[in-house]
């Protein structure tokens, strides 16, 4: 518990610093303010106490809510609000109306704290175009917007500079959806676009700064935006697919191909999920790939892959499913190429990460011919969009919605699944009824509570945090069991604990900070103060830094430097190992000095790093143990008892997604604890990938296996759900 607390402390410290730095000085008038809102039942209030720049205390009064639903959510919401310092909270699963209500009430309270109530006069803004700059999602630079004002209103917002789109296609989604909503509401209180939160907040913060530059007071522009209380009912679908990332789209396609009527529910502002970040899937001896890259000949021995796989998981419990994952990987890919236009070329056939003799094992999507590649791989949302349009056209009833978040399954009186309840971004509730439901929500990385429960620690993420375990919980609510939930989350990347997206350090300085976190030639210490790395790991340095870090307690460890080490770097530069330590994918674009070149600004780098929670500076061993939150004697033993000034630089895992999920059978039917199938409920992709894996080990690390499972499981589930509905 101690180690979790110390890590949580760093994170929350950093969040506070980031929020504080994102807000202008004197954002609030210190005091206590209360906002009211409707909730699930009679309504709730949120009372905040603020100082000039932050929320110091919050009370969410849910005493009027139904005890079993919203009544238990109060303390969780309070903790989330204090951590986020804003309305950008995850909310409490199963108490969405209460959570949404708390956000509205919080907005109203903060509006008062900012001297802003509906109808109150705002400080006037000048007519003209003004510029605002703020961090977005981009790793290598900030975002700049030009905002035009006329007669006290915002009439235009143009993003003129950004690096967010270098990491993928989410920024475009935020730009397209958010800006019209900001203009219409004339309020910075509009919700961020789901799946593109950092880009959305970047735009909102740029606009806030432009308001200030125009002579206004941005803190008066956070008026709460009213939510709809309507309920819409949609009926008579054969198949409902929850989540339209890779496995959801592929399930949707397969079900539509069988003639089923299909409705798709996607929480984000666009379809594709994490699947559009990938290079591509494993596909063994696909006819299409053989013809494209191997003169029509087989390129791998599937029997060997199957044997290695069974050996890796150490059990034949799910041998039938693993058999399918191996022998249908190529044919599944061929099916989607032939019927739904998927294309693969990129860099040809790639070799396995771990078995050198499998030199052709997985493949790379073709990139969008217009936008090409981003730093995560080929832009490929167009392939998923095209497939969805094709699938939709197969039955005039077929439809799907984005920005619609599924919340729970609907049951009939006998306990049979009959539909899904979901919430649109504008607050409207949707009740969607159908014969079968396929859960495809991409695992639980985005739910810190579930991460804590399963792994004892949260994790830094570079994947989609919309994927918050909703699908798994929906399956459990129907009596579904889980399988290998503790398979280690997908990590190939390590980096500093908190990416600094502001200009407080130059890109070159950020590269030095990264090198200090990633290098392997200094003592590496766990959150318990024990030695990690140099002495206790097998494998190459690359494996250690990029894969094995996931096994470090709390998915992190500290690189420890003494004052002498730092003095040495200032005068004699980085070592060879340090000068070669860069982060795959999460590089922030700077260049490291060559080994031996003095780093004169090392103290500035460490001081800024400390402000962001990337460096712990301790005046002696005792203080270092306290900062890490470990036993002093253990740490002293690890560091040889040297008492000096220390600098601890956290090196953390950056995660793509979780792996373990619901237990399923060969049809992707969710299984109960007793092994019987819930016949009209299916789970695919990351919501069921535990069945190919094993608790406590890295997910089957062949290369492209996770994405392959979206093809294999999607095809099976879509076909089986359509067949069930046709009975
Ligand atoms: C940067 C990166 C690179 C990767 N590279 C590779 C690779 O090269 N090869 C490989 O095999 N794997 C790779 N992976 C892993 C791979 O992306 C995943 O294993 C795969 O995408 C999982 O597919 P999925 O359908 O389960 O999840 P996703 O594709 O993430 O789809 C889940 C969808 O569900 C939606 N959703 C979540 N909750 C709800 C809700 N309550 N209601 C409605 N919708 C909801 C999400 O918005 C999302 O669209 C990579 C992942 C990342 C992040």
What residue spans define the domains of the chain? 24-113, 128-220, 231-489+658-726, 491-656
| Closest by Cα among 648, 572, 636, 642 to 609 | 648
Which pLDDT belongs to residue 12? Answer: 35
User: How far is the C-alpha of 73 from the C-alpha of 91, rounded, in Å?
Assistant: 9
Q: Is 518 helix (H, G, I), strand (E, B) or coil?
A: helix
pLDDT band at 539 (very low <50, low <70, confident <90, very high): very low
Q: Tokens standing for 650?
A: 């956290």
Given a contact cutoff of 8 angstroms between Cβ atoms, the answer to whether 191 and 110 are in contact is no
Number of neighbouring beta carbons within 10 Å of residue 24: 12
Label residue 355 by pLDDT band (50, 70, 90).
confident
Task: Please give the pLDDT value at position 576.
Answer: 96
Distance 170 CA to ligand 1 centre (A): 14
Cβ–ligand 1 distance for 706 under 6 Å, the answer: yes
The pLDDT assigned to 543 comes to 41
At residue 37 the predicted structure's pLDDT band, cuts being 50, 70 and 90, is: low
Residue range 415-451, pLDDT digits in tens: 999 999 999 999 999 999 999 999 999 999 999 889 9
Q: 725 C-alpha to center of ligand 1: Å?
A: 26
pLDDT confidence of residue 217: 86
Q: Does the domain formed by 491-656 have CATH 3.40.50.1370?
A: no
DSSP 16-82: HHHHHHHSPTT-S-SEEEEEEE--SSS-EEEEEEE-SSSEEEEEEE-TTS-IIIIIT-HHHHHHHHH
- Residue 71 has a pLDDT of 65
pLDDT at 115 over 80: no
Q: How confident is the model at residue 17 (pLDDT cuts 50, 70, 90)?
A: very low
* Count of Cβ atoms closer than 10 Å to residue 369 Cβ: 8
- Region 438-466: mean pLDDT is 92
Instruction: For residue 542, give every residue at least 6 positions away whose Cβ sits within 8 Å of its Cβ, in sequence order, or none.
Output: none
278 lines ligand 1 (CB under 6 A): yes
Domains 128-220 and 491-656 share a fold: no
Average pLDDT over residues 680-705: 94
User: What is the mean pLDDT of the segment spanning 124-138?
Assistant: 95
Q: Which two tokens stand for residue 536?
A: 């206790």
Q: 86-100, 174-188, 313-327, 353-367: which range is least confident on average? A: 86-100
Percent of the chain's residues with pLDDT above 70: 90
For residue 534, pLDDT beyond 60: no
* Residues 12, 83 contacting (CB under 8 angstroms): yes
Which residue, among 586, 584, 565, 533, has the nearest Cα to 645 in the 3D structure? 565
User: Whole-number mean pLDDT of the chain?
Assistant: 89
3-state helix, strand, coil in the chain (%, to 5): 40, 20, 40
Distance 265 CA to ligand 1 centre (A): 15
pLDDT of 599 higher than 90: yes
Can you give the pLDDT at residue 319? 98
Distances (CA, A) of 277 to 327, 381, 412, 608, 707: 25, 9, 38, 31, 10
Q: Looking at per-residue confidence, does 73 or 577 come out higher?
A: 577
Q: What is the pLDDT of residues 171-183, one digit of tens each?
A: 999 999 999 999 9
Q: Which of 244, 275, 587, 693 to mutate to test the pocket of ligand 1 (most atoms within 8 A of CB)?
A: 275
Comparing 46 with 538, which gets the higher pLDDT?
46
**Share of residues in the chain with pLDDT > 90 (%):** 70
**Pairwise CA distance, residues 435 & 579, whole Å:** 59
The single-letter DSSP state of residue 614 is S
**Is the pLDDT assigned to residue 8 strictly greater than 50?**
no
Q: Residue 345 above 50 pLDDT?
A: yes
Q: Is the pLDDT of residue 687 over 50?
A: yes
277-293 pLDDT tens trace: 999 999 999 999 999 99
Q: Determine if ligand 1 sits within 6 Å of the CB of residue 274.
A: yes
Helices (H), 285-380: 287-293, 302-313, 319-327, 329-340
Q: What's the CATH fold of domain 231-489+658-726?
A: FAD/NAD(P)-binding domain (3.50.50)
CA of 685 to the centre of ligand 1 (A): 8
If you average pLDDT over residues 599-627, what whole number do you get?
96
Residue 394 confidence class, pLDDT cut points 50, 70, 90: very high
Q: How many whole angstroms separate alpha carbon 616 and alpha carbon 624?
A: 8
pLDDT for position 401: 98
Average pLDDT over residues 202-217: 94
Spatial CB neighbours of 111, under 8 Å, sequence gap ≥ 6 = 35, 117, 118, 189, 222, 223, 224
- Topology of domain 128-220, CATH: Sufe protein. Chain: A (3.90.1010)
- Residue-level pLDDT at 520: 87
pLDDT for position 454: 96
Label residue 14 by pLDDT band (50, 70, 90): very low
**CA 364 to ligand 1: nearest atom:** 8
pLDDT of residue 6: 34
Distances from the Cα of 672 to the Cαs of 247, 454, 478, 604, 714, in angstroms? 22, 20, 9, 57, 20
When computed from its CA atoms, the radius of gyration of the chain, rounded to whole angstroms, is: 26
Any ligand 1 atom below 6 A from CB of 685: yes
How far apart, in Å, do the first and last CA atoms of the chain sit?
Answer: 52
pLDDT at residue 13 in the model: 33
User: What was the pLDDT predicted at 167?
Assistant: 86
Beta strand 460-461 pairing with 646-657:
parallel
Query: Of ligand 1's atoms, which has the minimum distance to the CA of residue 275?
Result: 21
Give the number of the atom of ligand 1 that is nearest the alpha carbon of residue 705: 11
One-character DSSP codes across 106-133: HHHHHHHHTT--TTPPPPP--SEEEEEE
Counted residue by residue, the chain has a size of 727
| More confidently predicted of 308 and 17 | 308
Query: What integer pLDDT is reported at residue 548 of this predicted model?
Result: 67
Residue 82's closest CA among 27, 21, 8? Answer: 8
Structure confidence by residue, pLDDT tens digits, 38-90: 555 556 788 999 888 889 999 998 876 655 556 678 888 898 898 888 877 77
Tokens of 598: 């003095």
Average pLDDT in the 316-331 region? 98
CA of 547 to the centre of ligand 1 (A): 19
Q: Is 622 helix (H, G, I), strand (E, B) or coil?
A: helix
SS (H, E, C) 551-606: HCHHHEEEEEEEHHHHHHHHHHCCCHHHHCCCCCCCCCCCCCCCCCCCCCCHHHHH
pLDDT over 70 (residue 23): no
Mean pLDDT of 637-665: 95
pLDDT at position 717 over 50: yes
3-class SS of residue 629 = coil
Calculate how far, in angstroms, residue 686's C-alpha sits from the geometric centre of ligand 1: 7
Mean pLDDT of the region 87-99? 71
CATH of domain 24-113: 3.90.1010.20
């Amino acid at each position: 518990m101690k180690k979790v607390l110390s890590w949580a402390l760093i994170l929350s410290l950093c969040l506070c610093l980031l929020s504080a730095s994102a807000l202008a000085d004197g954002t609030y008038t210190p005091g206590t303010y209360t906002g009211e809102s409707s909730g699930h039942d009679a309504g709730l209030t949120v009372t905040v106490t603020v100082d000039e720049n932050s929320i110091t205390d919050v009370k969410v009064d849910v005493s009027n809510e139904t005890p079993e639903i919203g009544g238990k959510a109060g303390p969780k919401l309070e903790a989330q609000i204090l951590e986020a310092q804003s309305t950008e909270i995850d909310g409490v699963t199963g108490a969405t109306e209460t959570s949404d209500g708390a956000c509205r009430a919080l907005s109203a309270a903060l509006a008062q704290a900012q001297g802003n109530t509906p109808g109150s006069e705002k400080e006037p803004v000048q007519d003209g175009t003004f510029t605002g700059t703020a961090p977005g999602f981009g790793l290598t630079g900030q975002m700049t917007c030009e905002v035009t004002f006329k007669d006290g209103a915002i009439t235009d917002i143009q993003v003129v500079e950004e690096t967010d789109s270098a990491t993928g296609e989410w920024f475009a989604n935020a730009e397209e959806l958010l800006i019209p909503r900001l203009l219409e509401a004339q309020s910075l209180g509009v919700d961020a676009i789901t799946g593109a939160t950092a880009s959305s907040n970047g735009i909102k913060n740029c606009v806030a700064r432009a308001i200030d530059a125009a002579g206004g007071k941005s803190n008066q522009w956070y008026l709460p935006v009213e939510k709809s209380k309507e309920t819409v009912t949609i009926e008579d679908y054969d198949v409902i697919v929850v989540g339209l990332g890779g496995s959801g789209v592929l399930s949707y396609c397969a079900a539509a191909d069988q003639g089923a009527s299909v409705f798709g529910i996607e929480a984000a502002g666009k379809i594709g999920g994490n699947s559009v970040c990938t290079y591509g899937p494993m596909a063994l001896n696909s006819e299409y790939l053989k013809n494209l890259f191997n003169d029509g000949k087989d390129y791998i021995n599937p029997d060997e892959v199957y044997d290695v796989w069974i050996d890796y998981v150490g059990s034949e419990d799910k041998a039938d499913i693993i058999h399918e994952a191996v022998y249908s990987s190529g044919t599944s890919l061929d099916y989607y190429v032939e019927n739904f236009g998927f294309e693969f070329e990129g860099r040809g056939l790639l070799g396995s990460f771990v078995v050198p003799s499998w030199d052709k094992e997985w493949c790379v999507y073709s990139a969008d011919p217009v936008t090409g590649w981003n730093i995560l791989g080929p832009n490929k949302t167009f392939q998923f969009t095209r497939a969805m349009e094709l699938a939709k056209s197969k039955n005039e009833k077929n439809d799907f919605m984005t920005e619609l978040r599924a919340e729970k399954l609907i049951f009939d009186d006998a306990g049979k699944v009959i539909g899904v309840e979901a919430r649109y971004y504008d607050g409207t509730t949707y009740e969607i009824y159908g014969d079968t439901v396929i859960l495809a929500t991409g695992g639980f990385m985005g739910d810190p509570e579930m991460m804590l429960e399963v792994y004892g620690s949260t994790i830094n993420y570079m994947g989609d945090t919309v994927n918050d375990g909703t699908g798994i919980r929906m399956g459990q609510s129907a009596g579904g069991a889980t399988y290998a939930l503790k398979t280690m989350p997908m990590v190939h990347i390590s980096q500093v604990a908190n990416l600094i997206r502001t200009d407080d350090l130059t890109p070159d300085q950020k590269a030095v900070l990264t090198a200090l976190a990633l290098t392997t030639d200094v003592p590496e210490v766990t959150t318990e103060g024990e030695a990690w790395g140099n002495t206790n790991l097998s494998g190459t340095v690359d494996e250690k830094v990029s894969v094995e870090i996931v096994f470090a307690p709390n998915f992190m460890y500290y690189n420890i430097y003494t004052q002498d080490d730092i003095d040495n770097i200032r005068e004699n530069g980085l070592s060879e190992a340090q000068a070669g330590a860069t982060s795959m994918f999460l590089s922030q674009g700077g260049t490291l000095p060559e080994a031996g070149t003095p780093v004169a600004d090392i103290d500035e780098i460490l001081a800024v790093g400390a402000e962001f929670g990337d460096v712990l500076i301790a005046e002696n061993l005792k203080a270092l143990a306290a900062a890490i939150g470990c036993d002093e004697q253990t740490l002293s033993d690890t560091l040889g008892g040297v008492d000096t000034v220390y600098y601890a630089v956290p090196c953390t895992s950056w995660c793509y997604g979780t792996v373990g999920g619901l237990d399923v059978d060969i049809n992707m039917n969710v299984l109960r604890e007793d092994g019987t199938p819930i016949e009209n409920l299916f789970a695919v992709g990351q919501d069921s990938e535990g069945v190919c894996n094993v608790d406590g080990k890295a997910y089957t690390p062949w290369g492209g296996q996770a994405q392959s499972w979206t093809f294999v499981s999607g095809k099976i589930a879509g076909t089986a759900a359509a067949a069930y509905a046709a009975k």
